[in-house]
Amino acid sequence: MKALPAVTATVLLALSVVAGGIPAFAASGSTAAGTAVDSCTVIDEPGRYELASNLTSDQDSGGEACLVVASSDVTLDGNGHTIDATDDDQTGGVVVVGRAETLTNVTVTDLRVTGQTTGVSLRNVADSRVADVTATHNANGVWVRDSENVTVADSVVSRNDGRSADGSGFGVRISGDFEHPTASDGTVVENTTVVENPYRGVAIEGSADNVVRDSHIAGNGDWLDDPDQAGGVRITNAPGNELAGNVIEANDVHVAAQVTENAGTVVRGNEFRQATVRVGNDDAQTTATGTAVTGNAFAGGGVELRSPARDTTVAGNAFRDGGTVRVTDANRTTVRNNTVVDAPVAIAVRSATGATVDGNAVRNATDVGIEVTNVANASVTGNLVAESQVGVAVHSWRSNLDGYRRVTGNLVVNGTTGIDVGSPLAPVTVRANEVRANEYGVVVDEPGQCVAGPEGAELVAIHGNDFVGNGLGVDNRDPETVNATGNYWGSSDGPSSTDDEDAPFADPETGEPADGSGDAVSEGVTAGVSNVHFDAWASNETVIVDA
């Protein structure tokens, strides 16, 4: 065989090396790990892309953003670099957008974005991830629109305080798209710091089954004039969302329903510091239903339910440092197994229909432990209230209230007034409670107005309770007689009378004197006659409250 020239032999050797799969060098613009990116561009092919340097976007370039991802199966690794802007009105730092079809499996990671309209924006994207990203001093931090199953993780979204035409000041925003108003469902925000964004930290709008968990949300909302607007987290027209395991401080959470029903939001296992969870908004066209606020710790702030919230459960939470539960015009509410310490009014339910307050522990309420005012079908059961100015207060100064108001099976101890029945114009039952060591066991107040039909003490039934060690067992301040038979007064020989020259007072129905050694009953308008019908009484303790 004739020998080949030397140059030909060299070429064949090079080809054989390449054919053997050992490249002599990487392609231009690529590294062994992926394609290097050193300027603003559009990524429209699958693959791994890595920033080789910091980038500066310029609005004059006319692009949608500095980096546009327009392909599925893309990983964009910032390698810790920054995308900055020369103009505050840039459209975006990174935009991941599906146009003709939804993009999937896109990851944006290890990147810092600042000075943009939106730091990272995802539109019409599914099963994708934003991780280890810092978005700061943009108009908005991270915006997920018209997408599903997107995760924002291990990121910092802070001080996004620029201005833009399409909304500003959001940390993380999850919403439908303006042109195609479909939901962004299944988004997860986790292990992310969202702080000092001037409008809202996290906004979930018209989207379902999203989760915000294990994140720190603080100091957002400085631009909001109305504190009810909730700078921390606002969930609007969005069913089935969850906040879990977050630390939220100096920021409120608002579950609101304005156009469509907002159902099934869960707020659980969070730590709230001077922060309030609000459910419902007075100007709504529909209801926030089935919200559950469970297992959270509140230092200050608390839970506030308003019209038209419905079927809300507040359970297993711990409130301290002034944290409270407040329910106004919200129907079918359950407040259960919470602890409230050092609050003015620990639990208050007002102007509502259907309220169950049971199994709670309240201590050192400086005004009222549990207050129920003008509520139809209210049950206060199995609670422990200790060392409070008023343990349980039931007020019903609306004569048209339907249903029942029941105070049953509670342990009320070491307060000024154990149970206060104020201005009764609707029936109230006080039964099977253990009322101990208060200055006043039960106080029945005189109504502040006259109505046709029964009123005041005539509408109050006090039966089967244990009154032990109170200064005055039942203090009836209404001229009408209150029915308080079948109670144990702390002694087998029945109640005593207050220290008065007309003592002992006679039972207004039977004439039996209140000359026992138990808790005292009050005197009525007739000298020497009690306005408490106490005869007959129980000779032994009958109530065992497991509170």
Rounded to the nearest angstrom, the gap between the alpha carbon of residue 137 and the centroid of all alpha carbons in its chain is: 28
Amino acid (1-letter code) at residue 445 = D
The single-letter DSSP state of residue 75 is E
Is residue 16 situated within a structural domain? no
Residue 219 and residue 362 share a domain: no
Spatial neighbors of 482 by CB under 8 A, at least 6 apart, are 444, 457, 458, 460, 462, 474, 476, 531, 532, 533
Q: Decide if 130 contacts 153 (C-beta within 8 A).
A: yes
Is residue 270 situated within a structural domain? no
Is residue 427 situated within a structural domain? yes
**350: its two tokens:** 């007002």
In which element (H, E) is residue 19 found? helix 6-19
SS (H, E, C) 243-256: EECCEEECCCEEEE
Helices then strands, each counted (H, E), the chain:
1, 57
Domain termination residue (choose one: 223, 245, 277):
223
Q: What is the pLDDT along the chain (547 residues), one digit of tens a residue?
A: 333 333 333 333 333 333 333 232 222 355 557 899 999 999 999 999 999 999 998 755 556 899 999 999 999 999 999 999 876 555 689 999 999 899 999 999 999 999 999 999 999 999 999 999 999 999 999 999 999 999 999 999 999 997 765 668 999 999 975 444 568 999 999 999 999 999 999 999 989 999 999 999 999 998 887 766 778 999 988 889 999 999 999 999 998 865 556 789 999 999 999 999 999 876 655 678 899 999 999 999 999 999 888 999 999 999 999 999 999 999 999 999 999 999 999 999 999 999 999 999 999 999 999 999 999 999 999 999 999 999 999 998 766 678 899 999 999 999 999 999 987 788 999 999 999 999 999 999 987 555 544 566 889 999 999 999 999 999 999 999 999 999 999 999 999 999 999 999 999 999 999 999 999 999 999 999 999 999 999 999 877 666 5
Is residue 334 situated within a structural domain? no
Spatial neighbors of 534 by CB under 8 A, at least 6 apart, are 474, 484, 485, 487, 489, 494, 495, 507, 512, 514, 521
In which element (H, E) is residue 12 found? helix 6-19
CA 276 to CA 269: how far, in whole Å? Answer: 14
**125: its two tokens:** 């994207």
CA 92 to CA 65: how far, in whole Å? Answer: 5
In which element (H, E) is residue 305 found? strand 302-306
**485: its two tokens:** 């038979």
Q: Decide if 506 contacts 484 (C-beta within 8 A).
A: no
Phi first, then psi, for residue 229 (nearest 5°) are -75, -15
CA 144 to CA 152: how far, in whole Å? Answer: 9
Domain termination residue (choose one: 167, 197, 223):
223
CA angle 262, 266, 267 (to 5 degrees): 120
**305: its two tokens:** 């339910």
For 426, the domain range is: 344-547
Is residue 231 situated within a structural domain? no
CA 135 to CA 39: how far, in whole Å? Answer: 19
Q: What is the dihedral of CA 318, 324, 329, 335, to 10 degrees?
A: 30
Residue 543 and residue 397 share a domain: yes
Residue 495 and residue 356 share a domain: yes
Is residue 305 situated within a structural domain? no
Task: Dump the DSSP string for 374-424.
Answer: EEEEEEEES-EEES-SEEEEEE---TT--S-EEEES-EEESSSEEEEEES-
The reported pTM is 0.89
Residue 348 and residue 203 share a domain: no
Is residue 233 situated within a structural domain? no
From residue 522, how far is each of 293, 390, 473 by CA, in Å?
A: 43, 19, 8
Is residue 56 situated within a structural domain? yes
> Which among 370, 402, 399, 429 is positioned nearest to 547, based on CA atoms?
370
CA 66 to CA 172: how far, in whole Å? Answer: 20
Q: In what order do the strands lie in the sheet with 262-263?
A: 262-263, 288-289, 309-310
> Which among 199, 257, 197 is positioned nearest to 230, based on CA atoms?
199
In this structure, what CATH number is given to the domain that contains residue 150?
2.160.20.10
- pLDDT at position 86 is 78
Domain termination residue (choose one: 193, 223, 253):
223
Spatial neighbors of 468 by CB under 8 A, at least 6 apart, are 434, 435, 436, 437, 488, 490, 519, 541
| CB-neighbour burial class of residue 16 (10 A; exposed 0-12, middle 13-18, buried 19+) | exposed
From residue 218, how far is each of 200, 221, 267, 302, 373 by CA, in Å?
A: 10, 9, 17, 16, 34
Tally of domains within the chain: 2
